[in-house]
């Protein structure tokens, strides 16, 4: 196999994902609040991938402006990630339809049939996250056009199952729609392996944080570059009476203070000086605004450094185009190396 044949093989493996997204490389950018804005999203799309705007808590007017600004920077397809718990979800969907956004990714829970059908009726392809086989099948029956399966290695809000297990559970049985794999992906060799298992493509977030086009604060980027995989840890819940939504981030001083806050709040509740609802809210609100403090303001000690375990593979700042080219090259090199070693007889032990 020569390089042209390897490229042809890779093209065939992710053709379904490329055709679905309308791109050269079936690599989606994970929607990261405060990071996945017009600059990074357009850069990913211009480099042959598929950028996705993180709507987060934006209001409809803000999202409309962000879509327009992104479209001014790229003529290539890109999508928008909407949180299903947003109180103005249907209005945000209408904004996407007005701007003729090609794909909307629904995140943060099971979307309603109403939002899925409204988007589809408007001509938008709808994607959603599936944390289990049953969930994936239900979404397909609902009419979803594509799925993302994201393992616990991912950054930000995470599920309980690893990427390697999710892919084994879901890829062999969910074939009606294209499935994109996410969580802990940082090199092209693993992208190739998921494609060969049946994935249509992949989604990466952490690798793009340190792209030159990313507006993340220089101190935020340096924290990623210095970090090892074991530094990206999930938030800890000390008491089941006070649920903590698991979030994977780099450990810092705020992580320690969060544990101290939980202990102090629990003690006050046990003494009867704080009621249950107030105690739960105090713990829940600890991280309010923490992601913005880290990403935008560069406060890496008191902010939230949401990162996936692939952060250990982020070693320098690169252009988005260089990151995607490197991932593709690693996949091609893996194909070439495999071909060159196939059939080679190992030497007998002396």
The pLDDT assigned to 111 comes to 97
Helix ranges (H only) for the chain are 3-13, 15-21, 38-46, 60-73, 89-98, 113-121, 133-142, 163-170, 188-197, 206-209, 218-226, 253-271, 276-284, 290-295, 320-341
pLDDT at 309: 98
Predicted local distance difference test score (pLDDT) of residue 43: 98
State both tokens at 58. 């934006």
Strand-pairing partners, residue 150, are: 182
Q: What are φ and ψ of residue 205, in 5° steps? A: -120, -60
Long-range contacts of 106-110 (CB under 8 A, 24+ apart): 106/81, 106/82, 107/31, 107/81, 107/82, 107/83, 108/83, 108/84, 108/157, 109/84, 109/85, 110/84, 110/135, 110/138, 110/139
pLDDT of residue 350: 45
Residue range 111-163, pLDDT digits in tens? 999 999 999 999 999 999 999 999 999 999 999 999 999 999 999 999 999 99
Q: How many CB atoms lie within 10 A of CB 319?
A: 13
Whole-angstrom distance, CA of residue 86 vs CA of residue 93:
11
Q: Are 150 and 163 in contact (CB under 8 A)?
A: yes
Give CA separation, 322 vs 46, 171, 210, 212, 233, in Å: 12, 29, 12, 10, 28
Q: How many residues does the chain have?
A: 350
**What pLDDT score was predicted for residue 219?**
98
Task: Give the global pTM.
Answer: 0.94
Ordered structural domains, the chain, with CATH: 3-215+313-337 (3.20.20.70), 228-306 (no CATH)
* Helical pair 188-197 and 3-13, crossing angle rounded to 10 deg: 50
Percent of the chain at pLDDT exceeding 90: 94
Q: Specify which residues 103 forms β-bridges with.
A: 79, 125
Task: Report the largest interatomic distance among the alpha carbons of the chain, rounded to a whole angstrom.
Answer: 76
Q: What does the alpha-carbon distance between residue 234 and residue 85 come to, in Å, rounded to a whole number?
A: 22
> Residue ranges of the chain with pLDDT lower than 70?
341-350
Q: Considering Cα of 210, then 212, then 214, then 219, what sign does the dihedral take?
A: positive
CA–CA dist 309, 291 (Å, integer): 17
- At 178, list the tokens: 């294209």
Using CA atoms, how far apart are residues 347 and 345, in angstroms rounded to an integer? Answer: 6
CB 227 within 8 Å of CB 210: no
């Amino acid at each position: 196999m020569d390089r042209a044949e390897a490229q042809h093989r890779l093209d065939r493996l992710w053709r379904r994902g490329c055709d679905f997204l309308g791109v050269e490389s079936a690599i989606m950018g994970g929607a990261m609040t405060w990071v996945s804005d017009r600059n990074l999203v357009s850069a990913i799309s211009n480099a042959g991938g598929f950028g996705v705007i993180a709507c987060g808590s934006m209001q409809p007017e803000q999202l409309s402006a962000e879509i327009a600004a992104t479209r001014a920077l790229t003529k290539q397809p890109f999508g928008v990630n909407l949180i299903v718990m947003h109180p103005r979800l249907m209005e945000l969907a209408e904004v996407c339809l007005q701007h003729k956004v090609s794909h909307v990714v629904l995140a943060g829970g099971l979307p309603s049939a109403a939002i899925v059908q409204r988007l589809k009726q408007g001509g938008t392809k709808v994607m959603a996250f599936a944390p289990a086989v049953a969930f994936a099948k239900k979404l397909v029956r609902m009419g979803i056009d594509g799925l993302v399966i994201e393992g616990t290695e991912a950054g930000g809000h995470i599920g309980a199952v690893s990427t390697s297990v999710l892919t084994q559970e879901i890829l062999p049985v969910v074939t009606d729609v294209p499935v994109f794999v996410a969580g802990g992906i940082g090199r092209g060799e693993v992208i190739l392996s998921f494609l060969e298992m049946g994935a249509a493509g992949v989604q990466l977030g952490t690798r793009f944080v340190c792209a030159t086009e990313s507006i993340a604060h220089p101190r935020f980027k340096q924290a990623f570059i210095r970090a090892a995989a074991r530094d990206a840890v999930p938030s800890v819940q000390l008491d089941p009476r006070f649920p903590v939504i698991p979030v994977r981030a780099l450990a810092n001083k705020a992580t320690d203070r969060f544990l101290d806050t939980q202990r102090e709040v629990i003690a006050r509740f046990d003494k009867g000086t704080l009621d249950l609802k107030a105690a739960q809210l105090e713990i829940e609100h600890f991280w309010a605004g923490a992601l913005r403090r880290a990403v935008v303001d560069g406060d890496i000690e008191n902010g939230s450094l949401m990162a996936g375990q692939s952060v250990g593979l982020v070693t320098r700042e690169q252009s988005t185009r260089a990151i995607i080219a490197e991932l593709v090259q690693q996949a091609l090199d893996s194909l070439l190396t495999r071909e060159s070693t196939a059939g080679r007889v190992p030497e007998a032990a002396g």
